[in-house]
Amino acid sequence: MGASASPPDRRITRRSALRLAGVAIPAVALSGLMSGCGTDQASTSRRSLRVSQPGEPRTLDPQKQGDMPSMNVLINIFDTLTGRDPDNQLVPRLALDWAPVDELTWRFRLRKGVRFHNGEPFDAETVKFSIERLLDPETASPIVELRYVTSVTVIDEYTVDINTDQPDPIIPEKLSLFGGVMVPPAHLQEVGDAAFAEHPVGCGPFRFVRYQRAVELELEANPDHWNGPPAIESLTFKPIPNPASALAALQSDEVDLITGLVPDAALQLRGYQGIETSSFPGIRTSYLSLDTEDPVLSDRRVRQALNHAVDVPRLIDAVLDGKAREVPTMIPRESFGFDETIEPYSRDLDRARELLAEAGYPDGFRTTLTASNADAFVAEAISGLLARVGVEARVDLLDPAVYSERLTSENRRALGPIYLAASTGWTLDGASLVQSNVRRDRRQSRWTSDEADALIDREELSVDPDERLQAFAELQRLLKEEAPFVFLYQIDNILVHTPRVHWQPNVTGALVMEHAEVHDE
């Protein structure tokens, strides 16, 4: 990873440019931070790596969580049937190969000789236990990707069939992260769920050492991992929600690598001695969810006007330091099904005003834009961009925990008429970004469309890649025409680190650290 310095005058110009459009951009409080510049970090062992992320795990039971801060830790303790390499390709992990037997059955051939950290062997019975435990209602798993799986059949000691009640073309992709985590049956049944969550036992590249909630979680290298021992001996995760605190921790030699920073915070550390900023393409896609049953937003012309009014390239340049890529609809570029022939909305204020006038709102209207306070910069900027066409969107910022609770509640209107959201389509399939947001019966859908529902069924239930591509293409054209969302961007994965850290995430941004290295410079 290499550093890239940006001169201060360019930064000020970017921030000032959007302020001229009426956009207020708060600053991260960094008072006293720079006093630590140039701290000698050679005292830290080169075989240890300390990583900060904004949140901490909700639980250490991998099948009872469904969020990236938890998975970022657990993917290092546990292993999955399939995986993604640094080039985003689906690769073997605990499964060596796989193929469909028929439309309702996928067969996986498993890796031999793998053992859990306690010595328990991994085999076909492990796969059956792990997947059926995830599906068991008593587990109450929030992981939904395997909703079509009904059972697992053991063919022999190292071969299993995964059975579904509907065709699922991306079962192998769904087993690359949340859905594919393997747990030790005998150990878990012996100690019980609660004890297992306190001291997790996996077969991943690192072993659990200790966890002090809200402070740090420590892992050590697994010397017997099937893929060889990691390059680092000790891996520590530190939850630091506040960006300024995370940056101060880097300066004072408390962490080596900061993840999960927004571009504006990372930008303020560029050019300082001993700190490097790296960015890599990301799949996490941001959008505004529009309540299409709202009296104003029910009019397609209004929704189209909002898309014309929100100048996404300008937003990316001025608020995100260019560290994002515009998306035409809800499907990001690296996902299977992305249609490169579909262009983003033109950024046309006159057209936006015309559409609002045609819909009966020549002077605009008032509404509310809800967001997590972690996304305050972007939300305020979007509000400023909308104001240029007379749309007064009051920003309602919520604590991230409150925001998440409302987002996942049964009340689809708990976040108001417009809310800012983002989703990480970690399967790298177009279905990931639309599965919860489009079909009318899905948890976060706020749109009713027979045509969209039929297209979702076509892409989700067909195992024919060409048929799926066609369905995705039609869906993206429909999404652009009906505009049930304001389509925004894919944000880059931004890392702030010491020069000693050498690691590159794939497009999902998952903190898979088995190949991370720490070098004395």
Q: Mean pLDDT, to the nearest integer, of 312-317?
A: 96
Tens-place pLDDT, residues 457-516? 999 988 889 999 999 999 999 999 999 999 999 999 999 999 999 999 999 999 999 999
More confident: 434 or 286: 286
Position 29 scores a pLDDT of 42
Q: Give the burial string for 46-82 (b: 16+ CB within 10 Å, else e).
A: eeebbbbbbbbbebbbbbbbbebbbbbbbbbbbbbbb
Position 409 scores a pLDDT of 86
Tens-place pLDDT, residues 360-417? 999 999 999 999 998 998 999 999 999 999 999 999 999 988 998 899 888 999 999 9
Position 200 scores a pLDDT of 98
Cα separation of 515 and 501, whole Å? 11
384 in Cβ contact with 415 (< 8 Å): no
Report which residue type is found at 21.
Answer: A
Cα 218 → chain centroid: 23
Position 37 scores a pLDDT of 39
Position 441 scores a pLDDT of 84
Over 70: is that where the pLDDT of 24 sits?
A: no
Cα separation of 283 and 424, whole Å? 6
Return the number of other C-beta atoms located less than 10 Å from residue 402's C-beta: 14
Tens-place pLDDT, residues 198-249? 999 999 999 999 999 999 999 999 999 999 999 999 999 999 988 888 888 9
| Helical (H) or strand (E) element with 287 | strand 285-290
Position 242 scores a pLDDT of 85
